[in-house]
Amino acid sequence: MGPLVRTRDGLLVAVALLGLSACGSAGTTSGPAASSSAEPSSSAPPPTCAEQTLAGLPLDRQVGQLLMVGVPAGDPVGGTAELGGVPVGGLFLQGRSSADAATVGAAVAQLQEAAALPLQIAVDQEGGLVQTLQGPGFDRVPSAVEQGRLDPAALRSATEGWAGQLRAAGITMDLGPVADTVPAGTESQNPPIGAVDRQFGSDPQAVAASVTAVVGGLQDAGVVATAKHFPGLGRVQVNTDTDLGATDPETTPDDPFLAPFAAAVDAGAGAVMVSSATYPQLDPAAPALFSPAVLDLLRGQLGFDGVVISDDVGNAAALAETPLAQRGVDSVAAGVDVVLTVSPADAAPLAQALTDRATADEAFAGRVTEAAGRVLALKERFGLLAC
């Protein structure tokens, strides 16, 4: 099988800011950039709202765009007190909540009312054992194994219904679908995915069809899809959340198991999550989220131009030997746009490390600005940002 080359322009992801006034939130009509006296060239399109907003952000606020921080799903408003005033880019409702949809929606609305720009609010609503919101108003979502048995058209329709419930409660991003393929007969040896039925199947082409359906269903309902965990966790025998040494010795640049990720790109997925496992045939020296080679594979060969989000850098045992500050800096330097941590206490040290590096390194500062621009553009794409 030859290299999987995919191109798709303009699919840029945005993660919202907490406590920042820039261009404006949805429904506003003015902002710093709007008052500029410069007239656009007659041959050039006017700047987008995301571009106008980015132009008004100082470095610390750009850095804030690059952080998505976990808060308890059962008390997201209370959880923001632990952020230490850092203007984070988005909030991840971590854990499980049995609250009804109205209660979740009220909490999310309170968060949004306190933010100068609308927040990107993310959950893990894959289905099966991984379903953040489980209370009344949120249907039980079957496991990916069960979903993979559905006709793609039926799966897309069902997903749109589940996603509609999320969107009605103010949720704007799902950290799914899982695009990892687990080889048949190895499920029990694959603790993060196969052992808990998080895979759509064992054939990468069939998995690709399911991924396409889920991405479409989520985004038809206005919820950003996040394909994960690039370039795949289906062959590892260690869970990156709980142990060191997660390695996939097989994945190559022309691996058939990349097909589901290519399908997600083709389907317009707003985000792709990169794993913290190591892939020696792609980069023997670094985990995927720290590897320019892995990120170049996603950007170049697969043609993804949206936001790349890291897997958790806070509590993941796979990264235990790397200091927290270095985790943030190394992932952004490699090409990650949004650094995800499940721990709100990580916000301040991560923001400080990224700001310090950008202050001292002009090239890294440019990387921060590039990532912040992608972050803002998804907000605009999904109607969260208007100038």
> Which amino acid, residue 11?
L
Q: How confident is the model at residue 173 (pLDDT cuts 50, 70, 90)?
A: very high
- Say yes or no to pLDDT of 3 above 90: no
Angle at 259 between CA 176 and CA 367, to 5 degrees: 65
- Say yes or no to pLDDT of 105 above 90: yes
Say what percent of the chain tops pLDDT 90: 84
Identify the pLDDT of residue 25.
42
Domains, in order of start, for the chain: 32-381 (3.20.20.300)
- Say yes or no to pLDDT of 185 above 60: yes
In the predicted model, what is the mean pLDDT of residues 262-276? 98
In the predicted model, what is the mean pLDDT of residues 200-216? 98
Identify the pLDDT of residue 89.
87
Q: Give the whole-angstrom CA distance, residue 180 versus residue 349.
A: 32
Identify the pLDDT of residue 43.
79
Query: Cα dihedral angle (34, 39, 41, 47), rounded to 10 degrees?
Result: 0
Identify the pLDDT of residue 325.
96
Bridge-based pairing state of the strands 120-123 and 90-94: parallel
Backbone dihedral angles phi then psi of residue 131, each to the nearest 5 degrees: -145, 105
> Which amino acid, residue 330?
D
In the predicted model, what is the mean pLDDT of residues 266-282? 98
> What would the DSSP string read from start to end of 164-197?
HHHHHTT--EE---B-----TT-GGG-TTTGGGT
Identify the pLDDT of residue 323.
97
Distances, alpha carbon 27 to alpha carbons 24, 51, 118, 254, 379, in Å: 8, 17, 11, 45, 13
The answer to whether the bond into 256 is cis (omega within 30° of 0) is no
In the predicted model, what is the mean pLDDT of residues 31-35? 35
- Say yes or no to pLDDT of 159 above 80: yes
Query: Cα dihedral angle (3, 181, 198, 285), rounded to 10 degrees?
Result: -70
- Say yes or no to pLDDT of 382 above 60: yes
**Strand partners for 131:** 125
Stated pTM of the model: 0.89
Bridge-based pairing state of the strands 307-310 and 271-274: parallel
Count the alpha carbons within 13 Å of 278 in the hemisphere toward its beta carbon. 13
In the predicted model, what is the mean pLDDT of residues 372-379? 95
pLDDT tens by residue, 62-104: 999 999 999 999 999 999 999 989 999 899 999 999 999 999 9
Identify the pLDDT of residue 28.
33
Task: Find all residues with CB under 8 Å of 75, minimum gap 6, and list them.
Answer: 107
Pairwise pLDDT comparison (120 vs 42), residue with the higher score: 120
- Within 10 angstroms of residue 30's Cβ, the number of other Cβ atoms is 10
- Residue found under tokens 């796979």: 318
- Say yes or no to pLDDT of 57 above 60: yes
Encoding tokens for residue 200?
């759509």
In the predicted model, what is the mean pLDDT of residues 219-223? 98
- Say yes or no to pLDDT of 34 above 80: no
